[in-house]
A and B are shown apart, each in its own frame.
Chain A
Amino acid sequence: MSVPAQIIDLPVADAPASSSQRHWFRADFPVIPALILLTIAFVALFANFLAPHNPELGSLTARFKPPFWQAKGSYQYLLGTDQLGRDVLSRLIFGARISMVVGFFAVMVAGVLGTTLGIISGYLGGWVDQVIMRLTDTWLALPALTFAIFLAAIVGPSMWNIVIILGVTYWTRYARVIRGEVLSLREREYVRLAIVAGCSKWTIMVRHILPNVINSAIVLGTLMLGVVIITEATLSFLGVGVPPPQPAWGLMLSDGKQGLMVGYWWLTVFPGLCIMLMVLSANILGDWLRVKLDPQLRQL
C-alpha cells in the first residue's frame, strides 16, 4: 500500500504564501455567501418583475394557505399566505428590497458620519479629538437598540427614518476605528511631506488621509451590514420599524408569531431564514474582506 496522496499535500493554504496573494480573490473567496447576497440584491432590484402577487394586497378567501408541498398548498402561492391572504413569497421578495435599501443606506450614513468625524478627530487631535471621542464614548455607553427605539419613537416610523436612525446609532464604530487608523497615518512621511509642501489641513485630510482609510471603511461597512439588518428587523418586529403595509422581514416575523403556536410555521420560518442567510453572508464576506485587506494595508 502506498501512502495516500492527501497526507503529502497537507493544506498549507494558511501559510502566508506570497505567490498566492496575487490570486487572493480565488484562494478562499466565500463563493456561497457572495452568491446569496448577489441573489438577494438581484431579487430586490427586480422585485416588481419577480413577485407573483402584490405584496400588500391579499384576498381574504385565501388566508393561511400553507406552502405548495403541503396538503392544502397550491402552486399559486408557493410559500403560502398570511393572515390577510397575502402571498408570503411576494412579501419576502419585496422585503429583500427594504432590507437591502435600509442596510446599504444605513451603513452609508453611519460610514460617512463616522469616517468624517474619525478623520477630523484623529488628524486634528487636541481638544477637537477630545470632544469627538468623549461624544463617541457617551454614544457607546447608550444601549444601541434602546436608543434606536427611542429615536424611532420620536421621529416616527418610515423606511428613510429608520435609515437615518440606524446611521446615527452606529457611526461610533467607524469613528473609533478610523481615528485609530488616522493616528498612524498622520505620522507617515508622505503626510509630513504634504505639510512641508504647504498643503492645508483640509487638503491633507481629503487627499492623503481619506483614500488611505477607505479600505478599512469598506471592511467595516460589510461587517456592519449584518448588524444593521438585524437591528432593522428587530425594530420592525417591535413595531417601531418600517410601518405595517410594507413587507419588512422583521415585521413579517412579528405578524406571524401568533400563528406559530397553531401551526402556521411558514409565516415566521421563511422571513427568519432570509434574515439569517443575509446576515450570515454579510458577516462571512466582511470577515473575509477584513482578513484579506488588512495585512495589505499594513504592507503599504
Chain B
Amino acid sequence: MPFGTPGVSGGPLLELQNLSTHYVSSRGTRVVRAVDDVTLRVNAGETLGIVGESGSGKSTLALSILRILPPAARNVSGRIMFEGEDLLEKSDNEMRHVRGKRIAMILQDPMASLNPLFTIGNQVAEPIQVHEGAKRATAWERARGLLRSVKIPSPETRVTQYPHEMSGGMRQRIVGAIGISCEPRLLIADEPTTSLDLTIQAQYLNLLRELQKAHNLALIFITHNLGIVAKMCDQLAVMYAGRVVESGPVSQVFNNPTHPYTQALLSSIPRMSNVDQRLTAIDGQPPDLSRLPAGCSFADRCPKVFDRCRAEAPPETSPGPGRTARCWLAAATAQQPQLAALAGED
C-alpha cells in the first residue's frame, strides 16, 4: 500500500493548537484571516499532507511554524508545540537555532534556491557551519556524504561546481541535501515538485521517502496534488479559507470523505475507470479572507448547503477515530456514498 505506515514513536513531534495567523493592513482596517484556528499534529517519522487551493493558507501555515512571516502578519492566538516547547514563546535568536537545525524547509521554487555565486559544497556545508560550528573541512566532508545520500553522482567533483552546472533535478536534490544537512526532526516541503517534470518528480518523491525512512524524519508536505498525497502521506489535512475543514488518515479521508469540499476535490480528479464522465468542478470562488461569512465559509459553493450552514460556523467534530471535520453534516451523517479510493488506481 502506498500509504498507511504509522508513526514510528508515540507522542506528537509537532502540535499546532488553535493557531491563527492574520495579515493586518497598515492602518489596521483590513484583517485577512490566512490561518484560522488550526489544530494539527504530526508524529515523528510521519508524513502530513496539507492540501487546499491557492490562497487557502497552506504556505502561511508553514511560515508560521518557522516564524518567518512577513511583517504584516500576526500570530493572533494558539500554540506551536514542537518537542514539548512552544515555538511562539521563543526569542528570535532561539528560533534561529530551530530553523535549519531542528525544522528544515524546502521552498516552493528549489530551482532558484541556490545562490549562483557559490559552489555547491559551500552551500550544503553552510548550515553545518552555522549550526554546529563545524570546521570548514569537516563540514565539506559531511557535504560530500550528503550529496552521496541524495544520489548525486561523483560528489567529490560536484561540490566544487556551481549551481548553473547542474540540471534541475540535481539542484532540487541538492536543496533536499541542504534541508537534511543538520539532521532535522521535521522537514516542511512547500510544493517542492511543482517546477519539475513528471519523471523527475517521481524520483524526487522516492528520494524524500528514502531520506524520511533513513532519518526518521517527520514530513509536512504542502501540495495541491492529491496524487502526491496518496503516494506520500500518512495523514491528510484539507484546508479551505484558512481553516482545516477535514483531517485524518489518508486512506480514510480518501475512501470516506465527510466534508463536501473534500468530496468535491476528490471527484474533480480524472480517473481511468470512468473516462466517459465529465470532471466535476467546484462552482464559485473561495471567499474573501478579510470578509468571511458568518456561517461556514464553504456555504456559498456547497452542494449540500442548508440554513444552519449560513447562520453558524460549524465546529470541529470528529467523525471517526483520528479524524476531524468542520461541517454540520459530519456529525449527523453516518456513511457517505463510497468514493473509489484514489490509491487503488494510482
Chain B residues near A196 (CB, 8 Å)? 66, 68, 99-100, 104-105, 107
Q: List 7 A-B contacts (CB under 8 A).
A: A189-B109, A193-B107, A193-B175, A196-B68, A197-B104, A199-B100, A200-B130
Contact status A126-B100, CB under 8 Å: no
Q: Which residues 172-211 of B sit at the A interface, judged by CB distance below 8 A? A: 175, 178
Contact status B99-A195, CB under 8 Å: yes
| A160 interface residue per 8 A CB criterion | no
Question: How many whole Å from A201's CB to the nearest CB in chain B?
Answer: 9
* Interchain CA distance A203-B118 in the complex, whole Å: 14
Chain A CB count within 10 A is highest, among B98, B99, B114, B131, for: B99
Name the contact of A197 in the complex, choosing from B71, B116, B118, B130 (C-beta under 8 A): B130
Question: How many whole Å from A219's CB to the nearest CB in chain B?
Answer: 16
Interface residues of B (CB under 8 A from A): 66, 68, 71, 96-101, 104-105, 107-118, 126-127, 130-131, 175, 178
Contact status B117-A199, CB under 8 Å: no
Chain B residues near A212 (CB, 8 Å)? 115, 117
Chain B residues near A194 (CB, 8 Å)? 115, 126
Name the contact of A199 in the complex, choosing from B114, B126, B175 (C-beta under 8 A): B126
Contact status A189-B130, CB under 8 Å: no
Question: How many whole Å from B144's CB to the nearest CB in chain A?
Answer: 18
> Given A199-B126, A199-B130, does the pair A192, B97 have CB atoms closer than 8 Å?
no
* Interchain CA distance A195-B66 in the complex, whole Å: 10
Instruction: Return the 9 tightest CB-CB contacts between A and B, nearest first.
Output: A198-B100, A197-B100, A198-B99, A189-B112, A190-B115, A196-B105, A193-B113, A197-B127, A300-B116
Contact status A203-B130, CB under 8 Å: yes
Chain A residues near B97 (CB, 8 Å)? 198
> Given A197-B130, A198-B131, A203-B130, does the pair A189, B96 have CB atoms closer than 8 Å?
no
Contact status A200-B96, CB under 8 Å: yes
Q: Which residues 184-236 of A sit at the B interface, judged by CB distance below 8 A? A: 188-190, 192-200, 203, 207-208, 211-212
A195's nearest neighbour on chain B, judged by CB, is B68
Chain A residues near B114 (CB, 8 Å)? 190, 193
* Interchain CA distance A126-B105 in the complex, whole Å: 26
Contact status B107-A198, CB under 8 Å: no
Question: How many whole Å from A276's CB to the nearest CB in chain B?
Answer: 37
A188's nearest neighbour on chain B, judged by CB, is B112
* Interchain CA distance A169-B100 in the complex, whole Å: 42
Contact status B127-A198, CB under 8 Å: yes
Question: How many whole Å from B70's CB to the nearest CB in chain A?
Answer: 11
Contact status A198-B98, CB under 8 Å: yes
Given contacts A189-B112, A193-B107, A196-B66, 12 further A-B contacts (CB under 8 A): A189-B107, A189-B113, A190-B114, A193-B178, A196-B105, A197-B100, A197-B126, A198-B99, A199-B96, A211-B117, A300-B116, A300-B117
Question: How many whole Å from B187's CB to the nearest CB in chain A?
Answer: 11
A214's nearest neighbour on chain B, judged by CB, is B117
* Interchain CA distance A239-B154 in the complex, whole Å: 66
* Interchain CA distance A207-B76 in the complex, whole Å: 34
Question: How many whole Å from B228's CB to the nearest CB in chain A?
Answer: 21
Chain A residues near B112 (CB, 8 Å)? 188-190
Question: How many whole Å from B204's CB to the nearest CB in chain A?
Answer: 17
Question: How many whole Å from B165's CB to the nearest CB in chain A?
Answer: 14
A210's nearest neighbour on chain B, judged by CB, is B117
Chain B residues near A125 (CB, 8 Å)? 71
Chain A residues near B110 (CB, 8 Å)? 189
Contact status A197-B107, CB under 8 Å: no
* Interchain CA distance A89-B297 in the complex, whole Å: 85
Chain B CB count within 10 A is highest, among A125, A189, A212, for: A189
Chain A residues near B105 (CB, 8 Å)? 196
Question: How many whole Å from B317's CB to the nearest CB in chain A?
Answer: 35
Chain A CB count within 10 A is highest, among B105, B107, B109, B115, for: B115
Question: How many whole Å from A128's CB to the nearest CB in chain B?
Answer: 13
Chain B residues near A199 (CB, 8 Å)? 96, 100, 126-127, 130
> Given A192-B107, A197-B130, does the pair A208, B115 have CB atoms closer than 8 Å?
yes
* Interchain CA distance A192-B110 in the complex, whole Å: 11
Contact status A197-B109, CB under 8 Å: no
A190's nearest neighbour on chain B, judged by CB, is B115
Question: How many whole Å from A90's CB to the nearest CB in chain B?
Answer: 45
Chain B CB count within 10 A is highest, among A197, A212, A300, for: A197
* Interchain CA distance A192-B113 in the complex, whole Å: 8
Chain A residues near B127 (CB, 8 Å)? 197-199
